[in-house]
Amino acid sequence: MACLVASLIIPLLLVFEVRTVQRSKGVCAAKSSCNEGGDAHFLQACVSNTPSDHFLMENEHDSEAYFFLNAVCPHLTKTPNVPLCCDTSQLLQLKNQMEAVRTLLRRCPSCLQNFQSMWCNVLCHPDQSTFVEVTAADPYNGRFDDDAPSKYNESVDAVTVYLTEDFATKLYQSCASVKFPSTGLYVISAMCSGRPPSTCGPQKFLDYIGAKSNRRSPSDFTFVVVDETTQTPSGIKPLDLDLFHCSESGFNNSEPCSCVDCPQSCAKMDAPVQSVSEDEATRTPWRLLGVSGYVILVSVAYIAISCIYIVVSYMHCLYYKKPDLDNSVFLPPSNQGHKSTSTKSQGMACSGGGANNPNGGNSATGSDCGANGAVGGGCQSSEAVIVEIGVFEQISRRFQKGLNRFFYKWGLTMASQPVAALLFGTMLVAICSNGLHYVRWTTDPVELWSSKTSQAYQEMQHFNAHFGPFYRIEQVIVKLKPNTTAPTDPFYTPSKAADKARPSKFSPILDAHILHEVLYLQENISSLVVYSERHERNVTLSDVCHKPMAPLNDNCAVMSVTEWFQNSHENIDQVRYKTARKRVIVADHYKHLAACIESSTRIDDGTPLHRSCLASWGGVVDPLIALGGFQDAEYERASALVITFLVRNSLNSRETELAEDFEAGYLRKVREFQVEHPHLSVAYQAQRSIEDEIERESAGDIKTVLCSYLIMFGYITLCLGRVGGCSLRSLVDMKVTVGIGGVVIVMSSVVCSIGVFGFIGVPATLIIMEVVPFLVLAVGVDNIFILVQYFQRYRPKNKDESLEVRIATVFSRVAPSMLLSSSAEALAFFLGAMTPMPAVRTFSLYAGMAVAFDFLFQITCFVGLLTLDAKRQRGARLDVACCFPVENCDKARQQEGMVYSLFRNYYSPILFSDTVRPLVIVIFGGWFIACVCMMPHIPIGLDQSLSVPSDSYMRDYFSAISEDLNVGSPVYFVLKGPFPYDDPDKRKLVCGLAGCSLDSIVEQISRAADESNVTKIAKMPNSWVDDYLDWSDPQSGCCRFYEDDQRKFCNASVKLQSCNTCEFDGGRLEGDQFYDLLPFFLRDIPTADCPKAGKASYADAVSLQSLDRQMEGDTSGDGERVMVVASHFMTYHTALRTSQDFTEALTQSRLLAAKISDTIGIEVYPYSVFYVFYEQYLTIVEDTFFNMSVSLVSIFLVTFFFLGLDLVSALFVGLTILMIIVSMCGLMYLWDISLNAISLVNLVMAVGISVEFCAHTVRTFAVNPNPSRLQRAKDSLLEMGSSVLSGITLTKLGGILVLGFSNSQLFKVFYFRMYLGIVIFGAAHGLAFLPVLLSYIGPSTKELRHRPNVQAPVSAANSVKQRCRTCNCCRTSSPVDTKTPSDAFNKDKRRRPNKNTTRDNSLLASSSAAGNAHNIDGTSQTIDEDTLLTDKAERNSKSGESELISTSADENVDSLMIESKRVAALTGPSRKLLDNCVSESNVDSLINV
């Protein structure tokens, strides 16, 4: 192509001697050919200074010349026998040169005609002397022999041409935007020393095309652009002709230039589409004092609301602390004169009154016993009203009762048969683990992150099927390290001339010795032989590389600067001198680099070297790809050399494996080069590099992960047990076996989950091994701690109660909560599998199944293991070494755990104090609002450098491509399906030549490239249609058939006179001829004579389908009929450096493709190799919202169902989890954690783990019959909070902190930071915010409802309490704080040692407290007085500690009925004593409850 470009410069043929000249009309400064047979490349004009001659047509050559002149300069042939300053030989030479130029400029007829018009006027205009001045003549006429000068006519050696400014400007502007279709580069750059149009201009353009140094002109042409200030010689009248604007029609009404080549033709183009992010970025935000105004408004509003809330809360507390006010949950009748309080009053109860007052709301009977009543001996009674419970409450009671009974029986069965339970679990694990043999581990990033139903995946499949997979890229980026001096290569020493000749505009990276070193590396890689163990053969680069010119050229396609030197050290070192007319011309590698940078398509660089710029493999190496680190197309200032090896990427696994084996050897070779050349900064990568580094990272972090899990396992085994008694007792009370068993259960559940899906065929990912064990361990540990600590705190009523019954009772109290949390988590994960993202879907399936197995093993194996361990402990045998009993050891004593004591003595009183509670609500509310405001600003994407270890060579490569590469990945706009290319009218929608539609695919992509900062499109597309039409043009000389066989194609490289050019009916390619010649175009190899041949650029751009028929009369098979089923138009993205850039590029490309599809009427889609990975970020926000919503809804429904259709409790669980997730989003923004598939998996996991932090507490609160919300919140926190803290919180915290020491940036960012956030925010909300919120507005107890201001019969329970108070049976000893009514009874019992009285008082207290004394659910209908006294004495010996295990509302009603029956069964003195306090009718009423 360079040779053709040079022809544009055809200042052809004129040279003039300095002498006295006549400047007037009709006079020629030079004419005719002067040096025929000389050594010059072109004919030179002779110095003339004579009148112009009439052009005579004496033969066919004269006619041919005249017709050409009439075509390019019709104004000179308006009259017959027009006088001219040129002859036939000059015109024919001009025609030949212009035919080559036509191939490049025919895209824009106006430019081509203006260009030809200028040269034909300079050469032939009859008034030539008025604007052409000969400044130098050559007496030797271009010859260099010893003949005398007088032997030849003087030829023109230098000339000055005067042009008007308007003429020069119009000429330049008409050609400034014309592009090469195959490369997208500007033609003007090749005619302006490589400068882009923005830095070129009319004068520089004319200077270059007129310079003799470009070796395309026989004489030096100096163009002088004359303006108002220019002084010209006398008689000079600058040339000023009417030229065509590029948007205007030329001679013979030719089409104006297209929008691609003429911006003025795009006057009506639409504004580029801006993405939402780009549009928001251009807005000016409202700011106040440097801060967003919206943030200030929200902050001020929240602070104001918080202040009002705190003031109101404190005033309310002060008001309700007055001793004469009642804070009872029951409303007294209106005629009693008491202030009535509503349920809302209960929620605002203050810790100093109401709820904690011994005579206030802590009484289950609702008695209004103030301090005066206690002292004076008579209390005013509030007559409570029992209201029938609703349908939901009835369902709830029955459901909870059914759950308790079911799990009691289940626990009794498992505890009775512990060995069978363990064997069942072992067999199940053995069966499921067989599925591990069928597990398919997915490591392919495409399968991990892209759904097979996604748009990008489908488009990738279509592209691969029709054009083949995109190449495997092996790339090396070489830079000079700062402040280092490169040693001279010992093998190839550049010459002194070349060493001293570096121009200042060239950077040091382009020095000859650096090029030698780079070529040395390239040669080593090209000659590398790698042994493939998988296929037992040697593999070389030639076996796997892309060879675009095969079979004629078997070299591999390599994009490198050294390809401009054909990979030859000799060519780099070559320095050529030329002496002509006492001048010495020196050409070295810098001159060659400059020529190739100007136009990498040159066959001859135009220097004395006469070297080609084409690569050794026959293609073009674009400086935009081979150089890096430059600005504004100043390629000479590049700071980096880029070597890119194109390796075939096949769908055949065998070929892929061979390529991978070669890449392994390639990486080793580059590392060796890096060590041997310390002065060079070498960044490199292979296609397999990411997967290799991720695998290395995973292997390197095994120790860290194992250490993390060992810490968690160790904590579990050590903290489950309690130390007490003698020194050996601690070895008995340890729970190492139980802890190890719990951990084994967790791991077994993961194994079973993987095995089950292995049987099913669901592929597994590495994320499963990284995340699922962490999740299941969190869930399992929480349940283990709750169950074990509940068992440790439980005190049986009957000292003879068997161990199995004790475990069954504990299990019946804990298992419903375990079922609630596990079911909610499993359902949330299973529903989360509806997401289209494969990694998230796979994680959700495996996690849901693992949680389900974990729950199954816990209610079977762990119950059996706990039973066996309890028997061991009861038998005083050592833990682990259970065969060794410990003799003479104290009995195990019940002790509070450290965490439990901390909660009871410090944390709970502080948290529920009047000062802290409002602050908790304000702080958490403010944090929630702040996080909501931060959510829209969470970065989206994944920094590639995070996916590799911190010491990986890929981090240097990522840094290098971000800093040094000036162009992004190729992008293909694919026409999906057949298109009527053979219809000239329809074809205008897919071409970019003159006459094509302004809305064609080429035009629209080119306009998008003009707005590259928005569209991310770097350049105009390669258009195979345009080049095919140019190739088939008869005047191009490319499309030829053999003269003796019109069915056999004659390649452009064939130099035979017997090849005839193609001819078409009507003069244009249409109908079947379009498809008949297309295969020949795609197989034709480019040459200097035919640069438009399509094999190099378009062999893979068109997908052909055979029609199973041959051209008529053809038997060779060359003329097979085909049709185009798919084709693409390739361009490049701009340099993309961040995930946001990649995502924006995908978005803009799809917007552009959709617009093109609507315009041309066929589906068009964009494809780039990274689209399949970054498509997830287009919908990541929607996917996150969907997954979070589905998980929250499923948890809400499960909670609603398992709490007996308790809507309020389910809402509290959902609200708390929502706040935890929003807090995690705030953490992601503050800690620079981007939203991607990994973080989405962690958020889904966070939803599941959050259930453990709140579900147990809410259920315990909901089933607690105490009417005071504050007291129920305290009980729930004390009962479940300590287990949650010591279980899931501290266990996971220890393991997570270890992850912070990982070498993996991925682990640090997405696991350490996010896991830490999950635990901290989960614990904060579950142990602080949720209990406080429940103490304010938690759901009311289901046991008793009240109806205000309604007179009703006095309840049995209240009647008993009133009569008891009258005879001083139940009055508390003092108005000080007590924990429960049973504690008050215990104090009375110490004053009354009478056995029968104590027993009766116990029964009355049990009845009046509505079941707060915790009995086993209906397991015994008789009572033993001694047992009861013993049990009460044990409780008193615990310093007044209240019973901690809250029973459900159903159990309390049953307990009340049992105690009432026992009261009715009393006889003797006890009955008489009771009769004095309670009438028989009231007892009967109590029984009827």
* Run of H or E including 1083: helix 1072-1083
1303 pLDDT higher than 90: no
What is the pLDDT averaged over residues 123-132? 86
Stretch among 55-69, 108-122, 195-209, 751-765 having the lowest mean pLDDT: 55-69
1364/1174: higher pLDDT: 1174
pLDDT digits over 351-398, tens only? 544 334 333 333 333 333 333 333 333 333 334 444 455 666 777 778
What is the pLDDT averaged over residues 259-283? 58
Place of tokens 């796979």: 842
- The closest alpha carbon to 1416, from 1465, 1458, 1462, belongs to 1458
What is the pLDDT averaged over residues 914-933? 88
**pLDDT at residue 357, rounded to an integer:** 39
Average per-residue pLDDT in the chain? 75
1466/1268: higher pLDDT: 1268
Query: If pLDDT is split at 50, 70 and 90, which confidence band does 194 have?
Result: low
10 Å Cβ neighbour count for 1371? 19
What is the pLDDT averaged over residues 677-685? 93
Instruction: Give the tokens for residue 852.
Output: 């389900």
**Is the alpha carbon torsion for 531, 532, 538, 543 positive or negative?**
negative
| Phi, psi of 648, rounded to the nearest 5 degrees | -60, 140
**pLDDT at residue 1414, rounded to an integer:** 37
What is the pLDDT averaged over residues 985-989? 90
* Run of H or E including 1398: helix 1395-1408
pTM tops 0.85: no
pLDDT digits over 1023-1082, tens only? 999 889 888 887 777 888 877 766 678 877 676 667 878 877 666 677 788 888 898 888
**pLDDT at residue 795, rounded to an integer:** 78
What is the pLDDT averaged over residues 666-676? 94
pLDDT digits over 1254-1265, tens only? 888 898 888 888
**pLDDT at residue 767, rounded to an integer:** 75
Query: If pLDDT is split at 50, 70 and 90, which confidence band does 580 have?
Result: low
- The closest alpha carbon to 448, from 1238, 1399, 1265, 1326, belongs to 1238
Stretch among 711-725, 1066-1080, 1326-1340 having the lowest mean pLDDT: 711-725
**Is the alpha carbon torsion for 315, 319, 321, 326 positive or negative?**
negative
Max mean pLDDT among 601-615, 778-792, 840-854 falls in 840-854
Enumerate residues 6+ apart whose C-beta is below 8 A from 1066: none
- What percentage of residues in the chain have a pLDDT greater than 70? 72
- 180 neighbors 601 (Cβ within 8 angstroms): yes
1410 pLDDT higher than 50: no
**pLDDT at residue 217, rounded to an integer:** 62
307/410: higher pLDDT: 410
What distance in Å separates the CA atoms of residue 535 and residue 533, rounded to the nearest whole number?
5
Stretch among 268-282, 761-775, 882-896 having the lowest mean pLDDT: 268-282
* Run of H or E including 1066: none
Q: What is the DSSP string of 1248-1294?
A: HHHHHHHHHHHHHHHH---S-HHHHHHHHIIIIIHHHIIIIIHHHHH
What distance in Å separates the CA atoms of residue 428 and residue 1429, rounded to the nearest whole number?
47
* Run of H or E including 51: strand 45-51
What is the pLDDT averaged over residues 733-739? 79
- 1017 neighbors 1070 (Cβ within 8 angstroms): no
1011/4: higher pLDDT: 1011
Q: What's the burial of 653, exposed, middle or buried (CB within 10 Å: 0-12/13-18/19+)?
A: exposed
Enumerate residues 6+ apart whose C-beta is below 8 A from 481: 678, 679, 680, 681
Length of the chain: 1489
Query: If pLDDT is split at 50, 70 and 90, which confidence band does 328 have?
Result: very low
242 pLDDT higher than 80: yes
Q: Going along 210-321, which residue ranges are E strands?
A: 220-226, 287-288, 291-292
Report whether the peptide linkage leading into residue 551 is cis, meaning its omega lies within 30 degrees of zero.
Answer: yes
**pLDDT at residue 475, rounded to an integer:** 95
| Phi, psi of 429, rounded to the nearest 5 degrees | -65, -40
Stretch among 106-115, 701-710, 1445-1454 having the lowest mean pLDDT: 1445-1454
**Is the alpha carbon torsion for 1423, 1427, 1430, 1436 positive or negative?**
negative
- What percentage of residues in the chain have a pLDDT greater than 90? 22
- Beta strands at 1059-1061 and 1040-1042: parallel, antiparallel or unpaired: antiparallel
